[in-house]
Structure 1
Amino acid sequence: MNNSVNDSALNGILKSLKNIEDRLSHVETKLQIQQEVIEDEAQPVQNVIKPIADDDLEIRLGEYWIPKVAIVAFIIGMIFFLTFPLKGLPMGFPIVFGYLMTAALLIASKLLKKSFAHFTGYAIGGSIVIFYLTTLRLHFFGREQLITSPGIEILLLLLVTTGSLIIAVRRNSVYLAALGLLLGYVTAMINSNPYLSFITLVILSAVVVYLTLKYSWQGLVIYGIVLTYFVHLLWFLNNPFLGNVMQFATSPQTNVLFILAYLFVFSLGCLLRVDKEEEKFNVILSSFLNAAGGYGLFLMITLSTATAYLGIFHFAAFILSIVISITFWIRVSSRYSTFIYAMLAYTALSVAIIFTFSAPAFFIWLCWQSLIVVSTALWFRSKFIILANFIIFIAVMIAYLVTEGTVGVESLSFGIVALISARVLNWQRERLELETDKMRTAYLLTSLLIIPYSFYHIFPSELVGISWVGLALVYYLLSSILKNNKYRLMALGTLLMTVVYLLVFGITSSETMYKIISFLLVAGVLMVISLIYSRRKSKPV
């Protein structure tokens, strides 16, 4: 009864409140009062949770470095397990265990990919190493060979290497690529067939260049250059790492041609790069290591084996290197790489000349080589090559004069080459970014001294003065044709040397007719020259 009364009272109150609300709304409508919604300006307090600092040393050691050390320690343990003969165990047990560990690491890397991402790469790398070593044990390290054919074993190892490179490409990992390449180089090193080993090195070089160009892994080229030439060097030293006695491998002699193949392939890694505008340090370093390492190994092997084809091999190196340098200049206008390969080419040509010709012939050929260097250096706009070539030219000339007991007609080559070099420098002086006048003067001074010296040894003493007068006339003729006063000065210098020579040696000569002809000839030439200068002075300007 009481409950019903209370409910009725409550309903009455609610009804009254409803009526009051309706009335107020009606009044607001009549008075045109807009309802305002009062919002609570108080903003809710957001709970900001400060994350734990990731760079804490203890956390970094525990989360990142300890797993890495664990993987490395595990791999080292597996290396010992798979490379040492284990007594008391079944022959196939290490192999089965190795493959099981490979599968376990791959599964672990898959399962922990999200929660333990930094562990995945190391686990995959470790599984590749263990898989390779396990496959290697099929023929090596064990008490007995499960695979007796070395060719089949090498093929399996190359398949493992290929698979590891495919994984590296799919994961876009330069580190896994470097690991896969290392396994390939190890395979080439343990291959007993030299030709297959060299072919493997060429293929690996091509893979290095492809990965570098495809994924811009420029450091990979340097890595490949070092490993390629190092493995070839180990072959030449009879692979001492495999327990062999260190000695030079003399066969096959054509192994040096594969070095030229490496040189060419690695040059493509810099030549075909995407960024052709700027030659960065790693590009320059790659070119230097390729040229110095490749030709250094090439030179060491050819000199050590004393092959009959030494000159031909080095001439082939010259052709290849000069083509590479020209291509660098034409395609990318490279200064440093062009210079590096050009210097390699000149060196190879010099070695080819020295070992093809005997003295004094090779001095003369080296002298004429100077013209090739000057011509290409002008094209490359390399002032350093021009200067270095002049120094080498002078050194070759001095070596010829010192080592040869008699100076023959061939010595005139030095003077002729000096004259031609000076003329070429004058003809193309605008191509160099330096003043070439001093360099041209140096070549002309060389010619001024060496040609009269050669005449002195070639002609009889009675004709030396006359030959020098004839040389002076040639210089005057060149001055008139080329409109260059330097040749006129050379003519005057030659005439002065002639006068001194006649005064010192001509008077003491026993040949009376020689004295008369020489002095009259010199006097006549000097009078004609004096007359020419007088007429030039009297001409109106």
Structure 2
Amino acid sequence: MSQLNESRTEELEAILRRLDARVARIEAYLQLAPFSEASTVPMPSGEMQAQTEASRAIAEARETALELKIGEFWLARVGIVALLVGTALFIAYPITVLPPLVHGLIGFLAVAGLFFFSRMWRVTYPYLSRILFGGGFVLLYYATLRLHFFTDHPVMASKAVALAGLFIILGNHFYVAARRQSEWLTGTAVFLGYTTALVGDAAHVTLPLIAVTSAVAVYFFLKFRFRTVVLLSIVLAYLTHLLWLLGNPILGHPLQAVAEHQNNLVYLFVYAAIFAFPNFWRKEETYSTATKFILPLLNGAGFYGMAVLVTMTFFAAASAGLNFLIAAFFLVGATLGWILHQSRYATSFYACFGYLALSAGIFVRFEMPHYFIWLGWQSLLVISTAIWFRSKIVVVANTFIYLGIFLAYLILAPATAAVNASYAVVALLSARLLNWKTERLVLRTELMRNAYLASAFVIIPYGLYHAVPKNYVSLSWLGA
């Protein structure tokens, strides 16, 4: 019996040693420190050697993976950028011993080499292959561009033929980007689209191409959720329009405004409508927080900033009417965004820009102090629509704007009975509306309502002081 017990004890000890060795391997793989209360049973030398070899193999595998990551990802980026820049400089550098046609063909051969290696490494080095493929498209565009533009000895004499070649390359670029669902390819294609618009150097080539490229960027955003592309597209669209408006200095023209307006304000409305379309097409919740916040903000700021610049340059006499038109455009966009999908950010930002344009139109259209009356009643309109939109952003912004206008009136304008009465009524009605519909705005503070009541507390005695004979001022204050 004792021999049987000793045999079982030895078996249990062997099992525990094997379990301890396995746990040690797991700890080494996960980089966990072993417990201080480790088993007192000595580990056999074979098990210890196996554990050491396993740890060494894991460390070597990690070092190899890090080297592969650095070589394939980071060094590949640096190398491809250096290769593209070097090839582009070679294409751009004039070589007198070579005819322009041969010089251009060498550039296209370099592009063919990039596409060849991209295809050859598609399986073994997929990341490197994708970079080469995208870089090949950029270089193909540049080689075609140099056939007519930015050279003293163009291979193609016809600008129309050169632009047609660029359009074909852009079309293929967008097609491949859609097939591969690649945000990198889409972003480069969008950038080259706006570049082509500037290279076109004609109002009715540049401006329509900006609109088309913007529409394509929005399509890729809705189809594949390429949010970086659409945000970049907004910036590039309005920047390209600004460069055209300044005479297109990229092509060496003097920095000055274009001579004729060429109806470019219409194109600005088109851009703004294109970039506002995602908020009408899909619910705001389907976008990331940054996208649903930044997209309408960039679009509204870009459109209104450019529209103001165009209005001041070409339509100063009609600036009031154009501001009213812009305000109507923004408010229609805000209303559609709320009715269709209750887009809070888009509705709030477009409404704010709309009321900003409305304020500018009122300021231009009316003389002082009459525009203070209209600005006061506009504040009441803003609160009414903000309650409908359930927009705390609009309510808070309007409160500060109202108080600023109110203080400006008290400091800058002479006291007028009509203005005083208007501000008193507006302040009381605004406070009443906020108190009545507080739950609709989910406002947890009475600060804004108290601000309107405080302005009423100031404007009513101020108005009575200037409207009532001095002998009855105190009595009128008691009655108020």
TM-score (ref. length: structure 1):
0.70
- Counterpart position of 1:349: 358
- Counterpart position of 2:238: 229
Residues 89-114 of structure 1: CA distance to partner in whole angstroms, max 9, x if unpaired?
A: 21211222222222332233233322
Q: 1:197 aligns with which of 201, 206, 209?
A: 206
- Counterpart position of 2:20: none
Q: 1:424 aligns with which of 420, 433, 439?
A: 433
- Counterpart position of 1:265: 274
Give the Å deviation of 1:252.
Answer: 1.0
Given the alignment of the two structures, is residue 255 of structure 1 paired with residue 237 of structure 2, yes or no?
no
Q: 1:174 aligns with which of 168, 174, 183?
A: 183
- Counterpart position of 1:219: 228
Q: Taking structure 1 as reference, are residues 278 and 269 closer, same or farther at Cα in structure 2, changes over 3 Å only?
A: closer
Q: Which of 184-193 and 422-431 deviates more?
A: 422-431
Q: 1:53 aligns with which of 27, 48, 61?
A: 61
Give the Å deviation of 1:166.
Answer: 0.6
Residues 409-429 of structure 1: CA distance to partner in whole angstroms, max 9, x if unpaired?
A: 344221222233233334434
Contact 2:141 2:169 in 1 (8 A): yes
Measure the CA separation in 2 of the matches of 1:435 and 1:91.
Answer: 72
Q: Which amino acid aligns with 2:61?
A: A
Residues 334-380 of structure 1: CA distance to partner in whole angstroms, max 9, x if unpaired?
A: 33332222211111111122222232222222111111111111112
Q: Taking structure 1 as reference, are residues 312 and 61 closer, same or farther at Cα in structure 2, changes over 3 Å only?
A: same
Q: Taking structure 1 as reference, are residues 185 and 283 closer, same or farther at Cα in structure 2, changes over 3 Å only?
A: same
Contact 1:418 1:447 in 2 (8 A): yes
- Counterpart position of 1:94: 103
Given the alignment of the two structures, is residue 360 of structure 1 paired with residue 363 of structure 2, yes or no?
no
- Counterpart position of 1:409: 418
Q: Taking structure 1 as reference, are residues 301 and 110 closer, same or farther at Cα in structure 2, changes over 3 Å only?
A: same
Given the alignment of the two structures, is residue 240 of structure 1 paired with residue 228 of structure 2, yes or no?
no
Q: 2:389 aligns with which of 363, 373, 380?
A: 380
Residues 245-277 of structure 1: CA distance to partner in whole angstroms, max 9, x if unpaired?
A: 323346316323322322221122344346636
Q: Taking structure 1 as reference, are residues 430 and 123 closer, same or farther at Cα in structure 2, changes over 3 Å only?
A: closer
| SS across alignment from 1:53 | helix
Q: Which amino acid aligns with 1:393?
A: Y
Q: Which aligned pairs between 1:331-350 and structure 2 lie closer than 5 A?
A: 331-350=340-359
Measure the CA separation in 1 of the matches of 2:62 and 2:450.
Answer: 70
Greater helix share, structure number: 2
Give the Å deviation of 1:209.
Answer: 0.8
| Highest RCO, 1 vs 2 (Cα 8 Å, sep ≥ 6) | 2
Contact 2:337 2:347 in 1 (8 A): yes
Given the alignment of the two structures, is residue 146 of structure 1 paired with residue 138 of structure 2, yes or no?
no
- Counterpart position of 2:11: none
- Counterpart position of 1:280: 289
| SS across alignment from 2:147 | coil
Give the Å deviation of 1:185.
Answer: 1.0
Measure the CA separation in 2 of the matches of 1:279 and 1:175.
Answer: 19
Measure the CA separation in 2 of the matches of 1:165 and 1:55.
Answer: 39
- Counterpart position of 2:30: none
Contact 1:138 1:147 in 2 (8 A): yes
- Counterpart position of 1:84: 93
Measure the CA separation in 2 of the matches of 1:371 and 1:394.
Answer: 13
Contact 2:284 2:343 in 1 (8 A): no
Among the aligned pairs, what percent are the same residue?
A: 35
Measure the CA separation in 1 of the matches of 2:433 and 2:162.
Answer: 60
Contact 2:283 2:342 in 1 (8 A): no
Q: Which amino acid aligns with 2:391?
A: S
| SS across alignment from 2:148 | coil
Q: Which of 453-462 and 148-157 deviates more?
A: 453-462
Q: 1:158 aligns with which of 164, 167, 176?
A: 167
Give the Å deviation of 1:460.
Answer: 5.7
Measure the CA separation in 2 of the matches of 1:110 and 1:355.
Answer: 62
Given the alignment of the two structures, is residue 73 of structure 1 paired with residue 82 of structure 2, yes or no?
yes
Contact 1:222 1:286 in 2 (8 A): yes
Contact 1:91 1:142 in 2 (8 A): no
Q: Which amino acid aligns with 2:455?
A: T
Give the Å deviation of 1:282.
Answer: 2.7
Q: Which aligned pairs between 1:105-144 and structure 2 lie closer than 5 A?
A: 105-144=114-153
Give the Å deviation of 1:61.
Answer: 4.2
Q: Which of 199-208 and 425-434 deviates more?
A: 425-434
Q: Which runs of 5+ in 2 are unaligned?
A: 1-53
Give the Å deviation of 1:86.
Answer: 3.0
Q: Taking structure 1 as reference, are residues 68 and 385 closer, same or farther at Cα in structure 2, changes over 3 Å only?
A: closer
- Counterpart position of 1:453: 462
Q: Which amino acid aligns with 1:374?
A: I
Q: Which amino acid aligns with 1:147?
A: M
Give the Å deviation of 1:68.
Answer: 4.1
Q: Which runs of 5+ in 1 are unaligned?
A: 1-47, 469-492, 498-541
Give the Å deviation of 1:436.
Answer: 7.2
Q: Which of 389-398 and 203-212 deviates more?
A: 389-398
Contact 2:197 2:207 in 1 (8 A): yes
- Counterpart position of 1:17: none
Q: Which amino acid aligns with 1:168?
A: A
Measure the CA separation in 1 of the matches of 2:271 and 2:137.
Answer: 27
Measure the CA separation in 1 of the matches of 2:428 and 2:259.
Answer: 45
Contact 1:425 1:436 in 2 (8 A): no
- Counterpart position of 1:5: none
TM-score (ref. length: structure 2):
0.79
| SS across alignment from 2:94 | coil
| SS across alignment from 1:88 | coil
Q: Which amino acid aligns with 1:53?
A: A
Measure the CA separation in 2 of the matches of 1:93 and 1:449.
Answer: 82
Contact 2:218 2:274 in 1 (8 A): yes
Q: Which of 194-203 and 136-145 deviates more?
A: 136-145
Give the Å deviation of 1:451.
Answer: 4.2
Measure the CA separation in 1 of the matches of 2:150 and 2:441.
Answer: 62
Residues 157-200 of structure 1: CA distance to partner in whole angstroms, max 9, x if unpaired?
A: 12211111111111221111111111111101222112321111
Give the Å deviation of 1:322.
Answer: 1.6
Larger Rg: 1
Q: Taking structure 1 as reference, are residues 395 and 142 closer, same or farther at Cα in structure 2, changes over 3 Å only?
A: closer
Contact 2:238 2:303 in 1 (8 A): yes
- Counterpart position of 2:300: 291
Give the Å deviation of 1:132.
Answer: 1.0
Measure the CA separation in 2 of the matches of 1:343 and 1:127.
Answer: 44
Residues 137-175 of structure 1: CA distance to partner in whole angstroms, max 9, x if unpaired?
A: 221133333333333332321221111111111122111
Q: Which of 435-444 and 115-124 deviates more?
A: 435-444
Residues 371-414 of structure 1: CA distance to partner in whole angstroms, max 9, x if unpaired?
A: 11111111122334323323322321332233233524344221
Measure the CA separation in 2 of the matches of 1:61 and 1:274.
Answer: 41
- Counterpart position of 1:390: 399
CA RMSD in angstroms, aligned pairs only: 3.0
